[in-house]
Structure 1
Amino acid sequence: MQQEGVPVVILNDEIYSPYSYKLEEELEKLAVEHTEKLFGKNSHFFNVKRKIVSKSGIGSTPDGYLVDFVSDKFFIIEVELSSHDIVRHVMNQLSRFKLAMGNSETRNDLAKFLASTVKKGGKVSDRDYLARIIGQGVGIFIIIDSVSEQLTEVVEYLAKDGTDVRAIPFETYTNGRNQLLHKFTTFTKETLEKEAKKWTFKWTTVPVNEHLDKTDSDLKGVFSTLSKQICLLPNVKEKSRKSWITYQTSPLKNFCTIKVLPDCLEVHIKCNDSFMDEKSITKKIERTPSWTFDRVFTVRTQENIEDAMRLIRQAYKCTCVR
């Protein structure tokens, strides 16, 4: 049976399921192979990693650079996996880049370097042309394996000052013979928000009692206590899906999910580098495009709830509190 909310592709009666990239380099290699399809024929992709620094020495090394000839616009390229902490990876990298590009000497050095990498001539070998369009403002392309709530928030934040930020979810599907299919769409800030909202509403909604029917009265009481305490956190809403119950402050900010099992509650939470688990209650889990949680633990009795809430409050803080 297919997992709820996970898309599949059927081609020639074969099922292709989502492929999970193990390393960013894997996605980056595919993106480089398909640059013309990703960005169009009227563009030039610089497949180079060039570190740039601000006046104070704050540095950044994007995954590539792009010139769009139609708009005479310059972009940096950042490749990222949705299973990683996008906020920590992308926000840090791109914030450093924006600082560095405020330095006119840096902009001129970058234009000179990029022009020197082009052997065939034309606009992109012209240092003055590159310096001019870089000086007019730099856009950002984020290539990622799937749409997620973190991606939407990152794009929204980076675009606040008018920066042209675009995201390309580059999704790959594989069949039983390891053959690959690729799907991608370019989103601006506005279209990404619409897409993310559609993505979050794919889940089937069921009454909470349907989950509790599979367990005993003691565990029902444990769930009731835990759920009430979670919902006391500011602006938190409980949403019951087909296979779990999720807690969020908005459709794009779910920080905790509970799966009701016959003998326990399985709690999945999001966390960041400041997460503290002094009693080693949780276990790390790997994020996937369809399950963006970082740790899991179980709750069996009322006595477990105090420790559970200490962990859940941290998940709430890192996901929902700016």
Structure 2
Amino acid sequence: MLICCPKMARLFTNSIIQLLSDEDCMDSFSSPREVHGSPHLKWEFLAVPQMEKEECVAIKTYIRVVGGPATVTGTVVAVDSYAQRDERWYRPKIRRFKFHLENGKKHGFKRDIRGLGPRFDYTITCNATFLPGGTKTVDPTTIHEFIGLDSGFFDATIKVEEREIKVNRGFLSMISPVFGAMFHHNTEESKTGIINITDFTHKTVKNVLDYCYGVNTTHNTPATVIDMIRFCDKYIIKPPMEKLHTWLKRNCTVKNFAAIADYAWQNGDESLQGKCGQVFNQNLEKLCGHPDFIQLGATVVAAIFKAGAAASTTRFQPSHSADEDDDE
């Protein structure tokens, strides 16, 4: 099973998460992912099981970019959920890397992931930062760096919880067809430039807008991220949705389980339900006695038990390297 996502440091950051277990020991190639901020550049991450006598003895990993050359730096983190159960053996495999990649050329990481054992359930996460064109490229300027430099940029206002957020009509129309319809038809919003929002908090609206501008936002709780997802869903702001859902999956723990599971089943999110089933399967005793879990509705609890019974095991983190390959 494979999940992808992106992350950046200096220029353009992306992340890809891959799941690889002994029950499904097949090549896991991510679908091509856009490097946000560099429209013509895409990248892929590949985990390949190394088989000997029908047993997987190691996992090789590869990365490549398509659409042009790039310098790529980052980490690969590999976590085995089986090993994680025993603190004596639990040690995430973390590696750092820096590659100078040519267009379309696959680059292998120097060190394989080893020590798998007969049972394993790895989550492999590759966090990568891209410098398109390599070190000769001039660093780009992001959207949020322009915002606030010229007050003329703001030609509309969102009013929420008796507070105001200055916005730009063109930008809102670009990210949301709902806002676009408000400003491009004979509506009260197009005449006054004022959008009144009563069903979300100021914090949620501000978080989503900052996230769309490219400003880092702090997602401290599932409730914060779930509210952002609901806002994006209502106003059809699609690009952030996958990353926000990925955040929920990566932070589905005993502590956060009830809130995330409740959202997953109330909204029919099958992918998130599967993740909750894995976490429940691994933490049955802890969760059944957790006060937040007990407060969930009977229908949701029954569905969680069913998902837990169908799940194998869960996994989490990842990271990789090749030109510079340092273990931690």
- Same fold judged by TM-score > 0.5? no
TM-score, length of structure 2 as denominator length: 0.23
Higher share of residues assigned strand:
2
TM-score, length of structure 1 as denominator length: 0.23
RCO higher in structure (CA 8 A, sep ≥6): 2
